């Protein structure tokens, strides 16, 4: 996996906003291969009869089985996005979720649709909304252009990863009050990273084409990946050491994350050690 340093400006921007855009991650050939594989997996969804004004009916979030597609397997240790994730979290990470998200065109004049604003990984359900740590980063890869708002891109509530309570919505409204919502303008091949605590939601695609993205989530190795990501022998057999770690190939969390630890050492990206004890001075 090629090394790309996370710049101070990128770290600041991620810390401030809770997300970071990375342009031109995938070239046109890679995007075409991913669309070919994605469309095969989404075939039944793409062939459903046209029904408008039902955003859920026009929304596919397919999670299991993606890594059996070589084109999607190749995203597991994709550079420069995964190197940036390693530097934002630590070498002690693995893949936590995979999702193919397609949205078919919806009525452009449709009523404001209810949202599903949430933080990822359901941590607040157990720990509350205060003092939440960053434990995961998702990478969203665009397979289609998102040239303007309401094209089917996930809506992000800027800086809400630092919020210590629920989002406040206007009475009868769907979006938060006093918070900037970002409907990013992106091209096929671009990606963005977002913090697990950032409030975000699906929105209807009010353009005239089906929107397509892939989202790969990474989290610390002591967090159980989503259930469909149990490592498969065939995938482990062909994996590089880094892919093997990311696929959950080291099952014991007390085993050091050798592959990414060694990679960080080689590239001068090892995080500062956290000692168990210090001697008083």
Ligand X SMILES: O=C(O)CCC(=O)C(=O)O
Name which of 188 and 202 has its Cβ closer to ligand X.
Answer: 202
Shortest separation between residue 224's beta carbon and ligand X, angstroms: 17
Residue 79 burial (CB count, 10 A): 12
Residue 253 burial (CB count, 10 A): 12
Among the listed residues 120, 190, 195, 243, the single contact to ligand X using CB under 6 A = 120
- Asked whether the beta carbons of 52 and 106 are under 8 A apart, the reply is yes
Q: Which residues are registered as beta bridge partners of 200?
A: 118, 156
Task: Report the site for ligand X in 128-157 (rule: CB under 6 A).
Answer: 154
When asked if residue 200 is in the footprint of ligand X (CB under 6 A), the reply is: yes
Name which of 91 and 217 has its Cβ closer to ligand X.
Answer: 217
The Cα 151–Cα 205 span in angstroms is 5
Q: In angstroms, how far is CA 58 from the centroid of its own chain?
A: 21
When asked if residue 202 is in the footprint of ligand X (CB under 6 A), the reply is: yes
Q: Number of residues in contact with ligand X, rule: CB under 6 A? A: 8
68 torsion bin: left (phi>0), alpha (psi -120 to 50), beta (else) = alpha
| Interface pattern 221-260 for ligand X (x via CB under 6 A) | ----------------------------------------
Interacting residues of 125 by C-beta distance below 8 A, sequence separation 6+: none
Name which of 215 and 219 has its Cβ closer to ligand X.
Answer: 215
Shortest separation between residue 61's beta carbon and ligand X, angstroms: 6
Shortest separation between residue 185's beta carbon and ligand X, angstroms: 15
Name which of 212 and 244 has its Cβ closer to ligand X.
Answer: 212
Shortest separation between residue 120's beta carbon and ligand X, angstroms: 5
Phi, psi values for residue 117, rounded to 5°: -55, 130
Name which of 42 and 99 has its Cβ closer to ligand X.
Answer: 99
CA-CA-CA-CA torsion sign (15, 16, 18, 23): negative
| Interface pattern 99-118 for ligand X (x via CB under 6 A) | x-x-----------------
Name which of 59 and 244 has its Cβ closer to ligand X.
Answer: 59
Angle at 71 (CA atoms; ends 213, 122), nearest 5 degrees:
45
Among the listed residues 34, 82, 215, 229, the single contact to ligand X using CB under 6 A = 215
- Asked whether the beta carbons of 94 and 248 are under 8 A apart, the reply is yes
When asked if residue 85 is in the footprint of ligand X (CB under 6 A), the reply is: no
The Cα 188–Cα 141 span in angstroms is 8
Residue 27 burial (CB count, 10 A): 10
Shortest separation between residue 256's beta carbon and ligand X, angstroms: 30
Shortest separation between residue 16's beta carbon and ligand X, angstroms: 21
Q: What residue ranges bind ligand X (CB under 6 A)?
A: 61, 99, 101, 120, 154, 200, 202, 215
């Amino acid at each position: 996996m090629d090394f790309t340093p996370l710049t101070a400006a990128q770290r600041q921007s991620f810390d401030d906003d809770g997300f970071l855009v990375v342009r031109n991650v995938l070239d046109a050939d890679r995007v075409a291969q991913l669309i070919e594989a994605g469309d095969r997996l989404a075939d039944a969804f793409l062939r459903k009869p046209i029904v408008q004004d039902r955003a859920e009916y026009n929304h596919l979030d397919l999670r299991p089985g993606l890594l059996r597609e070589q084109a999607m397997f190749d995203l597991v240790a994709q550079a420069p996005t995964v190197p940036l994730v390693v530097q934002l979290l630590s070498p002690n990470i693995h893949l936590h979720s995979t999702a193919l998200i397609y949205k078919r065109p919806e009525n452009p004049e449709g009523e404001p649709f209810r949202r599903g604003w949430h933080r990822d990984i359901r941590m607040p359900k157990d720990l509350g909304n205060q003092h939440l740590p960053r434990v995961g980063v998702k990478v969203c890869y665009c397979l289609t252009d998102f040239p303007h708002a309401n094209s089917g891109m996930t809506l992000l509530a800027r800086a809400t990863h630092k919020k210590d309570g629920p989002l406040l919505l206007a009475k009868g409204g769907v979006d938060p009050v006093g918070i900037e919502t970002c409907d990013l303008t992106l091209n096929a091949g671009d990606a963005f990273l977002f913090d697990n605590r950032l409030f975000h939601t699906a929105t209807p695609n009010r353009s005239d084409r089906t929107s397509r993205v892939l989202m790969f989530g990474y989290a610390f190795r002591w967090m159980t990946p989503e259930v469909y990501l149990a490592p498969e022998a065939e995938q482990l057999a062909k994996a590089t050491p880094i892919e093997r770690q990311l696929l959950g190939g080291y099952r014991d969390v007390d085993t050091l994350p050798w592959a990414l630890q060694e990679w960080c050492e080689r590239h001068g990206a090892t995080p500062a050690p956290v000692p168990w004890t210090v001697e008083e001075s």
